[in-house]
Amino acid sequence: MRTYVLEPGHQGLEALRQAEIATPVPGPGEILIRVRACSLNYRDQLLVQGRYFGGPIRTAAIPLSDGAGEVAAIGAGVTRFAVGDRVAGTFFLDWEDGPADARKVATSLGAPPATGMLAEYALLPERAVVPIAPSLSFEEAATLPCAGVTAWNALMEGPRRLQPGDTVLLLGTGGVSLIALQLARAAGAAVIITSSSDAKLERARAMGATHGINYRATPDWGAAAAEAAGPNGISHIVEVGGPGTIAQSMQAIGYGGEIGIIGLLAAEGQSNPLALMTRGATMRGIFVGSRAMAERLNAAVEANGIRPVIDRVFAFDDAVDAYRYQSGSDLFGKVVISV
């Protein structure tokens, strides 16, 4: 089968090469997926650059955590799926349900020692596979295992589930933020979103965002977001920036609200937690989520007619170009690779 491999000892896109390897055969409890589409996340850029948790990879690995396709073969004892079923992998191989712990999040797709999805076939344990929403294409379904579950976890799985009439603040127009916008609107919440591009803000408004803030034109965007939210304040912030944006997010959060810490897009910055204390607000670390969360997300996507936003689809042979595009400034939504 054709695949891509990240080679240890290299950093940057020169570490990514196409290869031919043997198609795996499912053993007991395993499922062989004929992958039809994959999507890219910021994490995949960090892995190529040798900046993911633990530093540069030490063994060759097939990249990408997110992929969808159909079941090509099953091993002995598999009961949840049959050949031909439309499925996707889950980000973590061992987090099926319940709270996270060190064992459940130890192994994730696309990072050694686990395999990844950027290949014609992927072999996964049955526990790490979910059905995809019937209304979605393979390309759309491939956008959800990481970004979609992350957004779902941030909005729907915390101690204060998003409610109709709440207000959500989203940072930027990448994959996590746009699926969070769709989920929040389906839940009856108002959405404030930031971007450095007025054109992107207009596109977000067309999707249902109720207020857009250009953070370059409005450097104190946290206060602007709090003002736009009105007296009830912001209940949830999907915080994809990290250290460089958290101070503004703390200024934006409302009383009793929650900041879901997700990303590291803005790696440098300082913050003072006083605003959290005075508002009784909290921060919660979001590290994707469980298989059960993925199943609940897929049910919500189907019930609400949500179609994930795909910016561009690249051919399998153009995967390196997909990485380049996904790291650029034109991104609006998800980048997908057709397999």
Q: How far is CA 140 from CA 47, 146, 264, 306, in A?
A: 23, 13, 25, 10
Greatest alpha-carbon pair distance for the chain in Å reads: 60
**Spatial strand order in the sheet of 253-261:** 211-214, 190-195, 167-171, 234-239, 253-261, 282-285
Residue 285, burial from CB neighbour count under 10 angstroms (0-12, 13-18, 19+):
exposed
- Residue spans of the domains in the chain: they are 2-144+308-338, 149-285
Q: Where are the beta strands (DSSP E) in the chain?
A: 2-6, 16-20, 30-39, 66-74, 86-89, 121-125, 129-131, 167-171, 190-195, 211-214, 234-239, 253-261, 282-285, 310-315, 334-338
* Residue 164 CB neighbours (<10 A): 8
Question: What's the pLDDT at 113?
Answer: 84
Long-range (24+ apart) CB contacts under 8 A made by 181-187 are: 181/207, 181/208, 181/209, 182/207, 182/208, 182/304, 182/306, 182/308, 182/309, 183/151, 183/152, 183/155, 183/156, 183/300, 183/306, 184/155, 184/236, 186/300, 186/304, 186/306, 187/155, 187/156, 187/162, 187/163
Q: How far apart are CA 277 and CA 143, in angstroms?
A: 36
Task: List the one residue out of 82, 57, 61 whose CA is nearest residue 72.
Answer: 82
Question: What's the pLDDT at 265?
Answer: 56
Question: What's the pLDDT at 44?
Answer: 93
30: three-class secondary structure by DSSP: strand
Print pLDDT tens along the chain (339 aa). 999 999 887 778 988 999 999 999 999 999 999 999 999 999 999 888 887 766 777 888 899 999 999 999 999 999 999 999 999 999 999 999 999 999 999 999 998 888 999 999 999 999 999 999 999 999 999 999 999 999 999 999 999 999 999 999 999 999 999 999 999 999 999 999 999 999 999 999 999 999 999 999 999 999 999 999 999 999 999 999 888 899 999 999 999 999 999 976 555 556 677 788 889 999 999 999 999 999 999 999 999 999 999 999 999 999 999 999 999 999 999 999 999
Cβ contact 62:5 at 8 Å: yes
For the domain made up of 2-144+308-338, give the CATH fold.
Quinone Oxidoreductase; Chain A, domain 1 (3.90.180)
For the domain made up of 149-285, give the CATH fold.
Rossmann fold (3.40.50)
Q: Identify the bridge partners of residue 66 per DSSP, sorted by sequence position.
A: 39
Q: Please state whether the peptide bond connecting residue 113 to the residue before it is cis, i.e. omega within 30 degrees of 0.
A: yes
